[in-house]
Amino acid sequence: MGIFLWIVIGLIAGWLATQILGGRGGLLYNLAVGLIGAIVGGFLFEKLNLQVMPDFWGNLITAAIGAIIFLLIWRAIRRS
């Protein structure tokens, strides 16, 4: 998968995570959250032996779930 497609998936996943959890974020914020979420989601899915289709939608689901988990952890750390 090309770098451009990873950026698109990161943007969408970051946007989805901020919409689901609430909050504000600009383009770079959503991109960062989505890309970190893709890493977190990929790591967790591999460790839990979960498999999704290796296509755009599977990667988007993995990245969005990872982004939500990342945002929850990030917000918990920032509040304490």
Residue 77, pLDDT score: 92
Please, are residues 65 and 41 in contact by the beta-carbon 8 Å criterion? yes
Domain boundaries, the chain: 7-79
The candidate with the shortest Cα–Cα distance to 34, out of 57, 56, 66, 2, is: 66
Walk along the chain (80 residues) and give the pLDDT tens digit of each residue. 677 888 888 888 888 898 898 877 788 888 888 888 888 888 888 899 988 888 889 888 888 999 999 999 988 998 87
pLDDT at 1: 60
pLDDT tens digits, residue range 44-54?
A: 888 999 888 88
